Amino acid sequence: MLDDVIRRQLAATLPGTRFDGLGKRYGGKVRDTYALDEKLFLVTTDRISAFDHILRQTIPFKGQVLNRLAAYSFEKTADVVENHVIEVPDANVTVAHRCEPVPVEFVVRGYLAGHAWRTYRDGGRMLCGETLPDGLRQNSRLPNPILTPATKAEEGHDEDISAADIVRQGILSQGVLDRLTGYALALFQRGTEIAAERGLILVDTKYEFGKRSNGTYVVIDEIHTPDSSRYFHADTYEELLGQDRPQRQLSKEFVREWLMAHGFQGLEGQVLPDLDDAFRVEVASRYIELYERITGESFVPDVHPDPVSRVRDCLLSAAAAV
């Protein structure tokens, strides 16, 4: 039945917005952000990206899942690290404090998966200044969670960077880096605990931070969503690891795997394939599954036939209150 709801929404997704009267607009890979005075209006669209490319097709309800799951995760971690959220007035909209973004993504890894595994498989034993021990297999748990930062690129691929180089290049002072590293590891620990309560393993994730006008550093963007995180199912982890079989996972990795199977990995000369409708429905279903698994709540989608106009009305109302 859920798949039928998703199919009906294939022609009524939120591909993007471009509204006047809401301040300066910035279009990211997934979010459209409007800056007005000291507030940001973040619109989480139904766009999906992989290998630093925005795919041409949208995913029904993906924006709603990300926005609502981020709001849930921000609430569950507010006692660990302050966040930028003011309110969530719409399924796709978050009103937040305006911050100066920190130009580093704080990627925390607890397991050898994804990019880290591909580096290790190809012989690498050093990742962002962190030494990886010999004898690990794909998806092995690391001795301790590690920080593998990346610089945030305006265009193209984000670049791995070590903590030492962050300081050496003057991107952050040692004191600020240490503070934000502590925040990232504490958030990862809380995310791990929340996931475990739901029978999941938080494999890896990224955190972004910003500095408010009062000098306070807060966590921004999104946390613990399928776009920013990778999850394994805990009940089959050890069995599948012992058999060198792929893990059952809830993340965006399966989209990357689909693209690689269709000859695309974001490399020069490769042609970005189109997502067929059946796969779009599958992606939407997996996003919704993760939302329900993490929150323990049923996902009730907003099936407005014109989500762009719905979001516009919400933003204009919120802006009027500024």
Work out whether the CA dihedral 217, 66, 43, 154 comes out positive or negative: positive
Report which of 188, 201, 120, 153 is spatially closest to residue 51, judged by C-alpha positions: 153
Q: Check whether 322 has a pLDDT greater than 70.
A: no
Quick one: fold of 2-100+252-320? Phosphorylase Kinase; domain 1 (3.30.200)
Q: Can you give the pLDDT at residue 259?
A: 95
Domain definitions of the chain by residue range = 2-100+252-320
Give dist(CA 79, CA 81) in Å, integer: 6
**pLDDT band at residue 153 using 50, 70 and 90 as cut-offs:** low
What mean pLDDT do residues 248-266 have?
89
pLDDT tens digits, residue range 260-315?
999 999 999 999 999 999 999 999 998 998 899 999 999 999 999 999 999 999 99
pLDDT tens digits, residue range 91-128?
999 999 999 999 999 999 999 998 899 999 999 999 99
Q: Which two tokens stand for residue 14?
A: 């939120």
Work out the number of other CB atoms within 10 angstroms of the CB of residue 51. 16
Rg of the chain over CA atoms, in angstroms? 19
> What percentage of the chain has pLDDT greater than the value 70?
98
Give dist(CA 33, CA 220) in Å, integer: 12
Q: Check whether 246 has a pLDDT greater than 80.
A: yes
pLDDT tens digits, residue range 188-201?
999 999 999 999 99
* Identity of the residue numbered 233: H
Q: Can you give the pLDDT at residue 94?
A: 97
Work out the number of other CB atoms within 10 angstroms of the CB of residue 179. 14
Q: Can you give the pLDDT at residue 154?
A: 56
pLDDT tens digits, residue range 4-24?
999 999 999 999 999 988 889
What mean pLDDT do residues 52-78 have?
96
DSSP letter assigned to residue 61: T
Crossing angle of the two packed helices 253-261 and 277-295, in degrees rounded to 10: 160
* Identity of the residue numbered 206: K
